[in-house]
Amino acid sequence: MGESQGGLFEPSFNRSVKVLTTDDRITSDSGLLLLREADHRLGITEALAQRLHDPRREDRIRYQLVELLRERIYALAAGYSAQDDVDRLAHDPAMKLAAWNRSGGQPLDERMASQPTQSRLIDILSHDPNNRYALRDALADACERHLRAEGGDHAARKITVDIDSFPISVHGQQAGAAYNGHYRDHVYHPMVASYSVAGDYDSMHEGYRLGNGFLHCVLRQGQVHTAQGMVRFVKETVSKAKGLGYSVDLRIDAGYTDGETLDYLTDEKIHFIGRLKSNAVLDRLAERHLKRPAGRPPKEGYEHIIELGQYQAESWRHSQRVVLVVVDRPDSKTGQLNLMPERFFLVVGWGAEEVSGADALERYRRRGTFEDRLGEFQQAIGPHLSHADFHENETVLRLALLAFNLASMLR
């Protein structure tokens, strides 16, 4: 209304259709406005900015910390993972409207922060220990704000926490990055924790409560063993998870079911399910359960769940309940069973009277959605950890996970 009609195009096949192009209002990233709406309702970046110490002189500040945070987090959520991308977004009308603390159309006449200014934000977040702690806690805070907004301002009855590590490839001389023989690449090896209500990331049943997201993360050097620092990480994760659920249990992969971790979980009475690496003793216990029954096998093959009872490795202080799962499926092409059935072991931190073997297997298999989300994070956001400083790269990783949480809330 009242705007100039420059660039008006009327197709001859239908004169009622009019195409108007106004350069200052064209964007392919209008989804940024949805991110700001979710962020505004939950107060995620506002709460984080209030906890940060800003060392800049007030008379020389053009962009508030909350505006810089929004610009960086929203860009990551939209798939702009390189810091140089903010220069291209600085004139984007959707980014200006989403990130600025201005009402009306005034932000359209402004310019967002450039890459050097965003670099100063990373410095501010990385080099002050209190700011690092505030950003670390922002992941769990965002999860809790979303969960309480969706569920009447109270915690969930039961939540499940998944813990895993993954590689992030680097190219350069970043502090702490190293060659990892398992991944055969020069990497960082971060550990992350994610939660879901009742262990279900995709619950859409009526009356069920939906909530999930990354709640803790530490960046680790590239050559560290999978389970290094696991007990400390679990302590911090469970502490953060208590604000989300009255009951907290864990799902962990075989790389984390070492004696130190299992003994700690048992001492603290934390329920868990995990894969257990096979060994000669477990293989002997499983051997008699691998024989196939006589007769023609069913078309879909077999799946057997066997209670092996209590098992205690020499390095463990506590014995643990072990469940054997035998999966004997036909080949998808030939329809024939393989020479030997597949089998794996689950270590279960519940008694058989609390959780049956079949229920334990079902709970563990739902961990697959968490692994999908982790892969989605790497594919959709894939943060570039290109800073020379270790703390700066950890800051970028946590901002990226916070961006992924915010985008996931729009699901």
**What are the tens digits of pLDDT across the range 399-410?**
999 999 999 998
Q: 111 and 141 in one domain?
A: no
Mark which of 96, 125, 154 sits at the end of a domain. Answer: 125
pLDDT at 167 over 70: yes
Percent of the chain predicted with pLDDT > 90: 64
Is the pLDDT score of 22 beyond 50? yes
Residues 59 and 186 grouped into a single domain:
no
Domain-located, residue 296: yes
Cα–Cα distance between 349 and 327 in angstroms, integer? 22
pLDDT at 1: 36
If asked whether residues 268 and 381 sit together in one domain, one would say: yes
pLDDT confidence tier of residue 65, bands split at 50, 70 and 90: very high
Does residue 176 carry a pLDDT above 50? yes
Q: Residue 143: what pLDDT?
A: 95
**Do residues 311 and 288 share a domain?**
yes
Edge-first strand listing for the sheet containing 185-188: 168-169, 185-188, 178-180
Cβ atoms of 385 and 396 within 8 Å: the answer is yes
* Mean pLDDT, residues 277-295: 86
Q: Are residues 249 and 360 in the same domain?
A: yes
In a domain, 1, yes or no: no
Which residues are CB-neighbours of 129 under 8 A, at least 6 positions away?
none
Q: Indicate whether 164 and 29 sit together in one domain.
A: no
- Structure confidence at residue 13 as a pLDDT band (50, 70, 90): very low
Can you state the angle between helices 115-127 and 129-150, rounded to 10 degrees?
Answer: 100
**Do 107 and 96 form a contact (C-beta atoms < 8 A)?**
yes
Q: For 189, what's the count of Cα atoms within 13 Å in the CB-facing half-sphere?
A: 20
The pLDDT of residue 401 = 97
14 part of a folded domain: no
4 belongs to a structural domain: no
CB 185 within 8 A of CB 168: no
CATH at residue 261: 3.90.350
Split into its structural domains, the chain has a count of: 2
Establish how many alpha carbons lie within 13 A of residue 50's alpha carbon, considering only the half-sphere containing its beta carbon.
5
In this prediction, residue 60 carries a pLDDT of: 83
Of residues 47, 292, 251, the one with CA closest to residue 148: 47
Residue 364 φ/ψ region, left for φ over 0, alpha for ψ in the -120 to 50 degree band, beta for the rest: alpha
End-of-domain residue from the set 125, 152, 169: 125
Tabulate helix, strand, coil % of the chain (nearest 5): 40, 20, 40
Mean pLDDT lowest for which of 79-83, 251-255, 308-312? 79-83
Predicted confidence (pLDDT) at residue 62 exceeds the cutoff of 80: yes
Q: Domain range for residue 156?
A: 128-409
Residue 205 binned pLDDT confidence (cut-offs 50, 70, 90)? low
Mean confidence (pLDDT) of the chain: 88
Integer Cα distance of 397 and 176 in angstroms: 14
Are residues 331 and 213 located together in one domain of the fold?
yes
Q: Which of 97-101, 163-167, 297-301 has the highest average model confidence (pLDDT)?
A: 163-167
Sign (positive/negative) of CA torsion 342, 348, 353, 356? negative
pTM: 0.88
Backbone phi, psi, residue 317, to 5°: -85, -25
Specify the higher pLDDT residue, 311 or 290. 311
Distance of CA 258 to the CA centre of its chain: 23
Structural domain contains residue 15: no
Pick from 32-36, 215-219, 266-270, 391-395: least confident: 32-36
Question: Measuring CA to CA, which residue among 245, 39, 38 is closest to residue 151?
Answer: 245
Residue 2 has pLDDT above 50, yes or no: no
Q: Do 223 and 113 share a structural domain?
A: no
DSSP per residue over 37-95, as a string?
A: HHHHHHTHHHHHHHH----S-GGG-SS-HHHHHHHHHHHHHTT--STTHHHHHTT-HHH
